[in-house]
Amino acid sequence: MSTIRVRSPASYWLAFPAATWMLGVVVVPIVLLVWVSFWGGRAFSTSSPLTLDNYTKFFANPTYIKLIGSTVVHTVTLMAVTGVLGYCIAYFLVVKVKSPRWRLLLFLAFIVPFWTSTLIRAIAWVPFLGVNGVINQTLMFVGATQSPIEAFLYSRAGITMAQVSLYTMLAAGPVVYMLNSIPPQLREAAMTLKAAPFTVFRRIIFPLTLPGVVIGQVLVFLNVMSDFATVATIGGNKHALLSNLVMLFYEGSQIRAASVVAVMLMICMLVGVVVALRVVDIRRLGA
């Protein structure tokens, strides 16, 4: 396909700019981060001795351990909700909407909100979730409740609601792609082989979209794990996840503790991605 041979000088030159960039903004900072997390003493100095003290302190505090647990639980919840919603939306868009014009319109309606930044979208939830917010006003108007419910804003439920809206598209996108690449004849062939619609879905469609599901889940997983902005805006100061702890230590100039939590966060993410790759060979996507 390409006229440039593998391992030729030209191919190395092509890879050079991106490789330099990644080295500078990803590899070096991560190495620094890991290094700092082992620093002993109190001075901000490259001559600090290397110790395990920072990690010992982290693991000695049950609150932090629980925070890892609750971060994982929160992330898994979000993966489940966005996974189901995203799959339904993708299936609806690709399979049920027959008119190309409607499909485009719905798809635009679906992605236009994502043209604004994550932070703005998170803040936009505040007027919805607040005590005098849209949701409470509506509930009181229809008579579902007498007094406003305070559980929406500054609560775990509110964070989850906002993040579901933020990340469902990440879960849906790869599934849309995979569904689109399934020839309609496969569905028809299965039906003529006596498979009823749900069986066709279970045996043919879902297995073929599985790589898309897994990629979507990885994207949601990584984004939710690292999303401190939504948690800070919607959760106020009452709720925190691992990423907020990094912020907290950083703002308190506790650079060693911040590094330790950041390293823990990265380890959690790495484990998650490795598990995902075990389930499905993502490299097959391009084939």
Partner 1 sequence: MDSLAHDPPQSVAVQGLARPQLDLELRGIRKRFGGFTAVDGVSLKVEKGQFVCLLGPSGCGKTTTLRCIAGLEEPDDGGILIGGKEVTRDPPWQRDIAMMFQDFALFPHMTVAKQVGFGLEMLKKPKAEIARRVQHVLKSFEILELAERKPASLSGGQRQRVALARAMITEPRILLLDEPIGALDYSLRETVMLELKLLQQRTGISFIWVTHDQNEAFSLGDLVVVMNHARIEQQGTPEDILQRPSTAFVAGFVQGNNVFHGRVVDHSAGLLRVETAAGTFMVPSIGKAPDLGSEVSFSVRAERLTDAVTDQHPNRLSVKCTTVEYFGAVRRHIFQRRDGELLKYDQFGAQSQRIAVGQTAVLGWQVEDSVLHVGVGG
**Which residues make up the interface to partner 1 (CB under 8 A)?**
183, 185-186, 188-196, 199, 203-204, 207-208
**Which pair of structure tokens corresponds to residue 165?**
């809206």
Cβ proximity to partner 1: between 150 and 281 the closer is: 281
Cβ proximity to partner 1: between 266 and 282 the closer is: 282
Partnered with residue 200 across adjacent β-strands are none
Q: Could you tell me which of 218, 259, 240, 232 has the C-alpha nearest to residue 71?
A: 240
Among all chains, which residue has been given the structure tokens 């990440």?
Answer: 170
What's the CA gap between 172 and 174, in Å, rounded? 6
For residue 203, the minimal CB distance to partner 1 (Å) is: 8
Query: Who's near 100: CB < 8 A, 6+ residues apart?
Result: none
For residue 215, the minimal CB distance to partner 1 (Å) is: 17
Among all chains, which residue has been given the structure tokens 């932090």?
Answer: 64
Among all chains, which residue has been given the structure tokens 């635009």?
Answer: 108
Cβ proximity to partner 1: between 193 and 279 the closer is: 193
What's the CA gap between 16 and 152, in Å, rounded? 49
For residue 205, the minimal CB distance to partner 1 (Å) is: 10
Cβ proximity to partner 1: between 116 and 199 the closer is: 199
For residue 100, the minimal CB distance to partner 1 (Å) is: 14
